[in-house]
Structure 1
Amino acid sequence: MMRSIARRGALISALWLFAGTTQAAIVNAQAHRAQDGALALSWTETNGAAVDVFMGQDPQAPLDQMTLVSKADADGRHSLTPASAAARQYFILQAADGTRYRLAERLVPLDGAMNFRDVGGYETTDGRFVRWGKIYRSAALSGLTPQDLEKIRKLDIRYVYDLRSVDERRSEPTRWPDTGATMASLDYDMDISAFMAAFADGPSAEKVRAAMTSFYPAVVDSHKGQFRAVFAELLEGDDGAILYHCSAGKDRTGVQTALILSALGVPRETVIEDFLLSNQHHRMSGDSGPMAGMPPEVLEVLGGVERPYLEAFFAEIDRRYGGVEGYLAAELEVDAADIQRLRALYTE
């Protein structure tokens, strides 16, 4: 079974393999994008042994179809020039004993969209790993540049689900390359009453934070139709990848991702850590538009996510359904057999 390496925030948990009495491990593996566009890989081999680094553009490519870019690399670092890193790359780190680990950059850097991330790489409770290059998440896609469209074309995304309301979709229509992908959504009006109340007598970080915390349990009911549709498409298991998104790619999209990763067997703490990565990849400007003149501390809350938000969502489904699997079965039409199919399709 091919193993992947999951980036969890800034740190990567250790992946251990025991071979007889020899303990081999690659830990703290990361892929960092520098400001100049270069891509830097780093890792630690706990025995101090050298690692071979292979690279390719197919997330599921076997080793013999990838290019050896660094042989017997003993310093735990490898860098790609901006030109080499312009296309999305996937890596296999091969330890001296033949153990292999997949690694990729979690963020897909785009000029016209924020928070576009690959959901792959996370370890599950049974020692498997979520496949890279199969499930993507993002913020709004209305500002994609021609270069972004070309980059997205190469991701082989066959299905795009828009979690936004009718008004959001109308005000910022999605741009998408002509790839034949299915574009899906569900018409609804967004209930923003809690946020309007938070702004009634002047916004404050505390009031906005309270509104956000109350929003998350509400999506258990308000967005179950959208969540159900994404799971139904995942269960189709067709070739190619799927993408879902909302406006900021952090709240509704964050909950959708939490449900998917939980269904695949990723531990809850890892799911929360992935949720919090939006704080690194989404920003909100107060220079113009409806946020113009907003106090910085309010913008910070509106533009980010906090652990209690997702915990409030989980608490609601734990209370009402006994956990994620209960919610999936009762509301999203995903039963135990479907969960096994999802894990067969999207973990390795």
Structure 2
Amino acid sequence: MNLANFRELGGYQSSNGKKVKNKRLLRSGEVYQLNEASVEALNDHELTKIIDLRGEKEISSRPDDKINDVSYHWIDIMKEVHDNGSMEDLMDMADIKAVDRHMMGIYENLILNEGAQEGYQKYFKELLSTETGGVLFHCFAGKDRTGIAAVLTLELLDVPKMTIYEDYLATNRQRKKPNELFLAEAASRGFSDVQLAGAKVALEVKKEYLDYSYDLINQHFGGVQNYTKEVLKVNSQDVQLLQHLYLEK
């Protein structure tokens, strides 16, 4: 299977004892040139909708595969962020700390940038309009744009923070092999040890990135509930519908 960082949110238990439905909420990296095993896995999860959170350049160079009977929806989360940095740009930074700072900046934009906020509004509208079948949301690596989408979704499904952090950090385990292959290829192309160390940071997630995201939400909006209601326009009726659609009865 070559669909990187793929997993479902099904089975996570909410604070009120209900569980997230299986085969409903799926997350991954890019859906590009999938092998047969990956397509079978998506079919097994009853996929009906793909939400692509990548930018225009990413889509033009590596477009999502077309899968029979699956609708495709593009939401460019970082469309108004002009300095989100390619991997090679990140590898040219001076040191690991510079890459780390850049990654923190990405999370700041994901929470505070108006274009990103508009994108996550659209994302929730797609979830709320999907009554049956699996919804796969993804970006390139399935870790940052996708990670925040998963965090906000699980928050509204009343899943405890400990579980939310566990799912977020599972990316480092899920992407271990793809990251090793990427770094090996970069090394063969002559990138230095310093550049490879920076790339490794950019390919992974850290608890501190999610801590920072929560801190920004709390400082600027008074908590996730206010943020989703006032900024993402997900009202109490929407939350009830989301829980009806994606939590077991």
Q: Structure 1 length as normaliser, TM-score? A: 0.63
Greater strand content: 1
User: Aligned residue for 1:306?
Assistant: 206
Structure 1 counterpart of 2:132, one-letter code: D
Give the structure with higher Rg (CA): 1
How many corresponding residue pairs? 236
User: Aligned residue for 2:74?
Assistant: 185
Residues 1-348 of structure 1: pairs in structure 2 closer than 5 A: 110=1, 112-179=2-69, 181-187=70-76, 188=79, 190-192=81-83, 202-220=93-111, 221=113, 222-282=115-175, 283-284=178-179, 285-288=182-185, 292=189, 293-295=191-193, 296-348=196-248
Residues 122 and 336 (structure 1 numbering): CA distance in 2 closer, same or farther, change over 3 Å?
A: same
User: Aligned residue for 1:96?
Assistant: none
Structure 1 counterpart of 2:56, one-letter code: V
Q: Deviations over 1:225-271 (max 9, x none)?
A: 22112211221242111110000001110000000000100112221
CA distance in 2 between counterparts of 1:127 and 1:239 reads 22
Aligned-pair CA distance for 1:304: 0.7
Residues 315 and 289 (structure 1 numbering): CA distance in 2 closer, same or farther, change over 3 Å?
A: same
CA distance in 2 between counterparts of 1:194 and 1:153 reads 34
Aligned-pair CA distance for 1:147: 3.4
Structure 1 counterpart of 2:97, one-letter code: E
CA distance in 2 between counterparts of 1:259 and 1:290 reads 36
Does the 8 A contact of 2:169 with 2:207 survive in 1? Answer: yes
CA distance in 2 between counterparts of 1:174 and 1:269 reads 32
Residues 144 and 189 (structure 1 numbering): CA distance in 2 closer, same or farther, change over 3 Å?
A: farther
Aligned-pair CA distance for 1:190: 5.0
Does the 8 A contact of 2:5 with 2:27 survive in 1? Answer: yes
Runs of 4+ residues over 4 Å off in structure 1: 193-200, 289-292
User: Aligned residue for 1:104?
Assistant: none
User: Aligned residue for 1:74?
Assistant: none
CA distance in 1 between counterparts of 2:95 and 2:37 reads 39
Does the 8 A contact of 2:12 with 2:20 survive in 1? Answer: yes
Q: Deviations over 1:302-343 (max 9, x none)?
A: 111000111111111111111111111112221112112211
Structure 1 counterpart of 2:201, one-letter code: V
CA distance in 2 between counterparts of 1:291 and 1:140 reads 23
Does the 8 A contact of 2:51 with 2:73 survive in 1? Answer: yes
CA distance in 2 between counterparts of 1:344 and 1:193 reads 36
Which 10-residue stretch deviates more, 126-135 or 283-292?
283-292
Structure 1 counterpart of 2:61, one-letter code: S
- The alignment yields a C-alpha RMSD, in angstroms, of 2.3
Structure 2 counterpart of 1:312, one-letter code: Y
Does the 8 A contact of 1:149 with 1:176 survive in 2? Answer: no
RCO higher in 1 or 2 (8 Å CA, sep ≥ 6)?
A: 2
CA distance in 2 between counterparts of 1:331 and 1:224 reads 7
Which 10-residue stretch deviates more, 274-283 or 139-148?
139-148
Residues 164 and 294 (structure 1 numbering): CA distance in 2 closer, same or farther, change over 3 Å?
A: farther
Does the 8 A contact of 2:32 with 2:62 survive in 1? Answer: yes
CA distance in 1 between counterparts of 2:150 and 2:231 reads 16
CA distance in 2 between counterparts of 1:226 and 1:290 reads 35
Which 10-residue stretch deviates more, 162-171 or 236-245?
236-245
Aligned-pair CA distance for 1:294: 4.8
Does the 8 A contact of 2:11 with 2:21 survive in 1? Answer: yes
CA distance in 1 between counterparts of 2:186 and 2:118 reads 30
CA distance in 1 between counterparts of 2:64 and 2:15 reads 36
Structure 1 counterpart of 2:25, one-letter code: I
Q: Secondary structure at the match of 1:160?
A: strand
CA distance in 2 between counterparts of 1:134 and 1:309 reads 26
